[in-house]
């Protein structure tokens, strides 16, 4: 026992000794900001397209924090006077929550001159307290070998799924943006809308066991690759990236009614470093956004961006997709989730 | 006893099934880490080591591993220091208050950790710990403590009190009894509790998630964030590497210490 | 009193870092949007068959998983302590392996094994047991298997230290006295390992009761309280409901725990 403890103690203190160094550079010196990124290729794109140009232009340092928007909003909320994050990327739902809680600042042309190149549609949803800077469209992702003639519309998709032409996989209620990318988008396409999602629930009932649900994006890719599903509702950018990594059987199609726009917002927390503004301005610039789009195959919102051939065919222009009324959906979300739990029970 | 014995053969069959059950899904993961494909697919189209290269190449993985090891070791140490004395004090008492205290010490287990993480983030931020390594240690400590307490208490209750009484009658001080009699006998339990504690902390996502900052992101947080955007076999390579380290540690522990002293006294050690 | 002194640090630690944050949660659960006190959320939870069913499903799942873990775990623990020999290292490895494999990959492993064209279906077809592949994915059985998989190590390693401290001479004495080996096991070894079995049950039950990731990723059609909590957290962001459901879950778990600990006192 004594031996055991002593050894463990020595090892543990050695490991902890490493951590005695300060972990957050003192912000008082003002020259280092913390910015956020989703992981993997997303993070690498943030480093090369935004953080590096920022460091070059300002001489400041941009530390990239990977993680997820739920975590960051909670962290800012818990530390409103000294937010641990200076420039935030987040999903519209959480961005709206941050605005409602008064946690974020308004963007102005003085602080971020590139704002003038962003269409009003991407500024209005957050009332200027943040900007939607890139987006993916949720449409049909299918296995080209098993689905020779993909459906052209949501209506056709529902009908042919109900007939059992294929096994479909749809986003489940455990996935944060399902209320937008599935419930609202399908209800609207089938004649309903924010105030009437009956068509969606009716469609799910009709499709019955020919539908399964995924609760994490990896599940969907697994299901399509393993043969457990043939088609589903998924994002364009991720489908292209997946296809480029070797899953060449994956195809994507934007439904004729328009798939939903799933945007990413940028925000600046109140009391965060003012040094974040030049960074956010770079995120809104045409040059940085084009570089970002090339890496991730997602559409960007600066209207000066011209996609090169190849990329242009992949990106769905936002005008051809369905623009969700984010705030109205946020108000109905709880009721929809409750109804799903009681009616669909999966 | 060890000749052809139907009961023993039945037991062996159960254990063989157990090993198959435990390892089958993990073997899938290990196999996947050697794939040559650029995405996750089974069966493997070919073999390569490219995902191990990717694992070493993506800096956040290694940074996350360092933080995870620090937190897991620190939280384990903390829970042993707090938990072993507490379980010795409680284990043999029949007082209702002891029952209540034991219930209390085990209660963190039952919270979905996402809720405790959320609550702890707000609380620790309010008292100034914020997103720091100490905050992570404290939060993990709360969750690791019950394992050490419960496993140690169970083993202590199993020890015949006569042993300690005899030593005390012979004039040994309480401290000497603890050091020379009780703690050596409790070694397997403390080891098991520490192992639980280490693994639970090392694998923890929902607590660490809330305390992530550029300096305190643990490996599971980095991995989750990675696969959410890029589901490739690099994550399988990480699991395989962790398993390889575990094998190595087990071999070393057996060599220098004897696994028998940890999980059974016969035939080994 | 002096014997209770060693208890103080652990109690103070949890009181400071677990109870205080959880009081926050309880506070949120009884505070209405306008800041006034309300019990409406609890009225909803206990007045709505949907939530009552969720509570029942949570407890039933945890109890079922615990039972399976005892049945599978005890023989393994017994073997590990008494007969493992050279296999000890292998068994120990199988026990730590699940927790060293990221949950994302573990889930993936189960999905591959039970895919429409996965090894299990191929085997069943090869043996002529089924004609068409069975759709396992999304079934409750897989979710339970995955939960047992990751919780079994806690059961086994809770039982081993206790089994090990049992004086084997007791068993041998019983055998010599003509009890027969099986009866000696039933009447001596098993009762003496009660403490370890209960420890394992407590750990497995409590952890199963608070877990949701496996059900979220593998499906299974259950709507447990932790799953609903996660959903509220992630999608609806209704922290009042998150807090109320968490408080109820904590109370349910503590009630079960107190019950189990009473059993210890009786059995021991």
> What is the model's pLDDT at position B262?
60
Write down the mean pLDDT value for chain A. 90
CA gap B136, A16 in Å, rounded: 12
Q: CB–CB of B111/C210 below 8 Å?
A: yes
The pLDDT of residue B185 is above 90: no
Helix B96-106 vs helix C239-267: angle between axes, to the nearest 10 degrees? 130
**Shared domain check, A211 and A329:** yes
> What is the model's pLDDT at position C225?
93
Q: Which residue has the higher pLDDT, B253 or C264?
A: B253
Which residues of A fall within a CB distance of 8 Å from C233? 70
The pLDDT of residue C79 is above 90: yes
> What is the model's pLDDT at position A30?
52
pLDDT digits (tens, 9 = 90+) for B16-41: 999 999 999 999 999 999 999 988 88
The pLDDT of residue B225 is above 60: yes
The pLDDT of residue A240 is above 90: yes
CA gap A87, A64 in Å, rounded: 10
CA gap C89, B259 in Å, rounded: 7
The range of the structural domain enclosing residue A247 comes to 136-261+323-343
Count how many domains chain A has. 2
**Shared domain check, A221 and A336:** yes
CA gap C158, B25 in Å, rounded: 23
Contact A68 B226 (CB under 8 A): no
CA gap B128, C139 in Å, rounded: 46
**Shared domain check, A193 and A97:** no
Count how many domains chain B has. 1
Structure tokens at C119: 């090894």
**Shared domain check, A301 and A208:** no
The pLDDT of residue A15 is above 80: no
Write down the mean pLDDT value for chain B. 88
- The CA distance from B231 to the nearest CA of chain A, in Å, is 6
The range of the structural domain enclosing residue B104 comes to 60-237
> What is the model's pLDDT at position C182?
78
Mean pLDDT score, B241-250: 89
CATH of residue A251:
3.40.190.10
Mean pLDDT score, A126-135: 96
Mean pLDDT score, B161-173: 86
Write down the mean pLDDT value for chain C. 88
> What is the model's pLDDT at position A186?
97
First-last CA distance in chain A? 50
The pLDDT of residue A27 is above 70: no
Reported confidence tier of residue C83, pLDDT bands at 50, 70, 90 = confident
- For B118, the closest of A23, A74, A225 (CB atoms) is A74
* Tokens 């199963």, located at residue: C208
In this prediction, what percent of chain A has a pLDDT beyond 70? 91
Eight-state DSSP code of residue C118: S
**Shared domain check, A266 and A253:** no
- Residue in chain C lying closest to B225 (CA): C104
The yes/no answer on whether domain C41-92+143-267 falls in CATH 1.10.3720.10 is yes
Contact A212 C233 (CB under 8 A): no
Q: Report phi then psi at A104, rounded to 5.
A: -130, 160
Structure tokens at A5: 């403890």
> What is the model's pLDDT at position A4?
37
Give burial (CB, 10 Å; 0-12/13-18/19+) of B156. buried
Q: CB–CB of B63/B217 below 8 Å?
A: yes
Residue B251 domain-assigned (yes or no)? no
**Shared domain check, A184 and A45:** no
**Shared domain check, A142 and A116:** no
Mean pLDDT score, A106-123: 96
Show the beta-strand stretches assigned E in chain C.
Answer: none
Contact B246 C96 (CB under 8 A): yes
First-last CA distance in chain C? 24
Residue B210 domain-assigned (yes or no)? yes
- For A12, the closest of B77, B125, B231 (CB atoms) is B77
The pLDDT of residue A17 is above 60: no
The ipTM (two decimal places) reads: 0.90
* Tokens 């890496």, located at residue: A295
> What is the model's pLDDT at position B259?
67
pLDDT digits (tens, 9 = 90+) for B92-109: 887 888 888 988 999 898
CA gap C178, C196 in Å, rounded: 27
Residue A292 domain-assigned (yes or no)? yes
Eight-state DSSP code of residue C234: I
Q: Which residue has the higher pLDDT, A251 or C116?
A: A251
**Shared domain check, A51 and A149:** no
Q: CB distance from A174 to chain B under 8 Å?
A: no
> What is the model's pLDDT at position A1?
32
Q: Which of B52, B228, A212, B236 is nearest to C109 (CA)?
A: B236
- Which ranges constitute the DSSP H helices of C101-180? 103-113, 119-126, 140-165, 168-174
Give burial (CB, 10 Å; 0-12/13-18/19+) of A80. middle
Lowest mean pLDDT, pick from A104-118, B22-36, C117-131: C117-131
Q: B17 vs A175, C6, C110, CA distance in Å?
A: 35, 43, 16
**Shared domain check, A226 and A194:** yes
> What is the model's pLDDT at position A23?
42
Q: Which of C240, C236, C231, C228 is nearest to C26 (CA)?
A: C240
Q: Give residues with Cβ within 8 angstroms of A305, minimum separation 6.
A: A286, A289, A290, A293
**Shared domain check, A283 and A235:** no
The pLDDT of residue B112 is above 70: yes
> What is the model's pLDDT at position B148?
94
Structure tokens at B253: 């522990």
Q: CB–CB of A138/A217 below 8 Å?
A: no
Structure tokens at C229: 């909590």
Q: CB distance from A80 to chain B under 8 Å?
A: no
* Tokens 């934007």, located at residue: A254
Reported confidence tier of residue C1, pLDDT bands at 50, 70, 90 = low
Residue A121 domain-assigned (yes or no)? yes
**Shared domain check, A225 and A166:** yes
CA gap C56, B16 in Å, rounded: 34
Q: What is the pTM of this model?
A: 0.88
CATH of residue B184:
1.10.3720.10
* Tokens 């076999």, located at residue: B233
Mean pLDDT score, C72-81: 94
pLDDT digits (tens, 9 = 90+) for C216-257: 888 888 999 999 999 988 888 888 999 999 999 999 988 888
Residue A327 domain-assigned (yes or no)? yes
> What is the model's pLDDT at position A252?
97
Q: B93 vs B87, B89, B96, B247, C198, CA distance in Å?
A: 10, 8, 9, 40, 17
Strands A231-235 and A168-171: parallel
Mean pLDDT score, A214-240: 92
CA gap C240, C232 in Å, rounded: 9
pLDDT digits (tens, 9 = 90+) for C162-185: 888 777 777 778 777 777 777 878
**Shared domain check, A123 and A89:** yes
> What is the model's pLDDT at position A22?
39
Residue A72 domain-assigned (yes or no)? yes
pLDDT digits (tens, 9 = 90+) for A176-194: 899 999 999 999 999 999 9
Q: B180 vs A228, B78, B166, B187, B192, CA distance in Å?
A: 60, 23, 13, 11, 20
The pLDDT of residue C260 is above 70: yes
> What is the model's pLDDT at position A53?
96
- Residue in chain C lying closest to B195 (CA): C96
Reported confidence tier of residue C130, pLDDT bands at 50, 70, 90 = confident
Residue A9 domain-assigned (yes or no)? no
The pLDDT of residue A9 is above 70: no
> What is the model's pLDDT at position A24?
44
- Count chain A–chain C contacts defined by CB atoms under 8 A: 67
Residue B44 domain-assigned (yes or no)? no
CA gap C25, C13 in Å, rounded: 18
Mean pLDDT score, C119-138: 85
- For B39, the closest of A39, A78, A242 (CB atoms) is A242
CA gap C86, C141 in Å, rounded: 33
CB atoms under 10 Å from CB of B177, counted, come to 18
> What is the model's pLDDT at position B188?
84
């Amino acid at each position: 026992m004594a031996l055991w403890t002593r050894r463990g103690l020595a090892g543990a203190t050695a490991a902890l000794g490493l951590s005695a160094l300060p972990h957050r550079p003192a912000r008082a010196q003002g020259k280092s900001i913390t910015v956020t990124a989703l992981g993997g290729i997303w993070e690498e794109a943030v480093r090369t397209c935004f953080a590096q140009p920022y460091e070059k232009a300002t001489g400041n340092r941009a530390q990239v924090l990977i993680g997820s928007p739920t975590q960051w909003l909670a962290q800012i909320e818990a530390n409103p006077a000294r937010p641990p994050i200076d420039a935030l990327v987040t999903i519209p739902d959480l961005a709206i929550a941050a605005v409602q809680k008064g946690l974020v600042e308004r963007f102005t042309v003085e602080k971020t001159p590139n704002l003038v190149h962003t269409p009003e549609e991407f500024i209005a949803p957050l009332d200027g307290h943040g900007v939607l800077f890139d987006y993916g469209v949720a449409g049909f992702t299918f296995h080209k070998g098993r689905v020779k003639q993909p459906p052209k519309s949501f209506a056709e998709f529902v009908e042919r799924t109900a007939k059992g032409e294929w096994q479909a996989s749809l986003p489940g209620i455990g996935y944060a943006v399902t209320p937008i990318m599935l419930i609202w988008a399908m209800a609207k396409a089938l004649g309903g809308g924010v105030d009437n999602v009956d068509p969606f629930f009716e469609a799910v009932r009709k499709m019955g066991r020919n539908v399964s649900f995924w609760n994490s994006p990896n599940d969907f890719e697994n299901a399509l690759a393993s043969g457990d599903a043939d088609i589903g509702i998924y994002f364009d950018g991720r489908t292209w990236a997946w296809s480029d990594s070797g899953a060449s059987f994956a195809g994507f199609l934007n439904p004729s009614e328009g798939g939903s726009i799933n945007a990413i917002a940028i925000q600046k927390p109140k009391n965060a470093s003012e040094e974040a503004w030049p960074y956010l301005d770079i995120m809104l610039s045409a040059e940085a956004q084009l570089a970002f789009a090339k890496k991730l195959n997602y559409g960007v919102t600066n209207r000066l961006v011209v996609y090169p051939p190849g990329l242009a065919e992949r990106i769905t222009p936002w005008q051809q997709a369905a623009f969700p009324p984010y705030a109205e959906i946020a108000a109905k979300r709880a009721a929809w989730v409750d109804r799903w739990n009681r009616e669909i029970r999966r | 006893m060890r000749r052809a014995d139907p009961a023993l053969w039945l037991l062996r069959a159960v254990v063989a099934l157990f090993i198959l059950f435990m390892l089958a899904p993990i073997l899938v993961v290990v196999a996947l880490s050697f794939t040559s494909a650029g995405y996750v697919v089974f069966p493997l189209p070919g073999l390569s080591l490219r995902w191990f290269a990717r694992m070493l190449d993506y800096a956040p993985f290694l940074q996350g591993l360092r933080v995870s090891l620090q937190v897991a070791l620190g939280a384990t140490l903390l829970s042993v220091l707090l938990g072993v004395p507490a379980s010795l004090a409680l284990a043999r008492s029949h007082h209702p208050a002891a029952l209540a205290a034991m219930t209390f010490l085990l209660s963190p287990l039952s919270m979905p950790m996402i809720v405790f993480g959320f609550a702890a983030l707000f609380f620790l931020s309010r008292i100034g710990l914020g997103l720091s390594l100490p905050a992570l240690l404290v939060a993990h400590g709360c969750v690791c403590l019950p394992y050490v307490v419960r496993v140690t208490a169970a083993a202590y209750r199993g020890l015949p009190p006569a042993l300690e009484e005899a030593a005390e009658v012979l004039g040994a001080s309480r401290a000497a009894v603890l050091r020379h009699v009780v703690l050596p006998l409790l070694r397997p339990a403390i080891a098991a509790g520490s192992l639980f504690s280490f693994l639970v902390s090392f694998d923890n996502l929902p607590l660490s998630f809330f305390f992530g900052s550029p300096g305190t992101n643990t490996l599971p947080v980095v991995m989750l964030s990675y696969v959410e955007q890029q589901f490739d076999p690099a994550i399988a390579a990480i699991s395989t590497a962790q398993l390889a380290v575990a094998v190595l540690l087990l071999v070393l522990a057996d060599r220098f210490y004897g696994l028998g002293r940890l999980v059974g006294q016969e035939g080994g050690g | 009193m002096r014997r209770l002194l060693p208890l103080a640090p652990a109690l103070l630690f949890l009181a400071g870092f677990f109870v205080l944050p959880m009081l926050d949660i309880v506070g949120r659960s009884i505070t209405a949007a306008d800041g006034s006190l309300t019990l409406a959320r609890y009225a909803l939870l206990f007045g709505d068959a949907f939530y009552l069913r969720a509570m029942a499903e949570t407890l039933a799942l945890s109890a079922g998983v615990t039972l399976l873990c005892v049945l599978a775990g005890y023989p393994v623990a017994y073997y590990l302590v008494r007969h493992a020999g050279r296999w000890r290292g292998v068994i120990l490895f199988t026990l730590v392996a699940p927790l060293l494999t990221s949950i994302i990959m573990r889930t993936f492993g189960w999905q591959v094994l039970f895919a429409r064209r996965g090894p299990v279906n191929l085997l069943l077809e090869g043996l002529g047991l089924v004609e068409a592949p069975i759709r396992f994915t999304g079934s409750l059985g897989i979710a339970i298997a995955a939960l047992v998989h990751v919780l079994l190590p806690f059961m086994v390693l809770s039982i081993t230290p206790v089994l090990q401290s049992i004086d084997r001479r007791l068993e041998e004495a019983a055998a010599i006295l003509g009890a027969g080996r099986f009866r000696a096991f039933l009447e001596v070894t098993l009762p003496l390992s009660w403490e370890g079995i209960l420890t394992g049950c407590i750990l497995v039950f409590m952890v199963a009761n608070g877990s949701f990731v496996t059900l979220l990723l593998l499906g299974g059609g259950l709507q447990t309280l932790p799953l609903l909590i996660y959903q509220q957290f992630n999608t609806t962001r209704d922290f009042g409901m998150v807090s109320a459901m968490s408080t109820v879950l904590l109370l349910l778990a503590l009630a079960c725990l107190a019950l189990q600990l009473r059993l210890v006192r009786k059995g021991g």
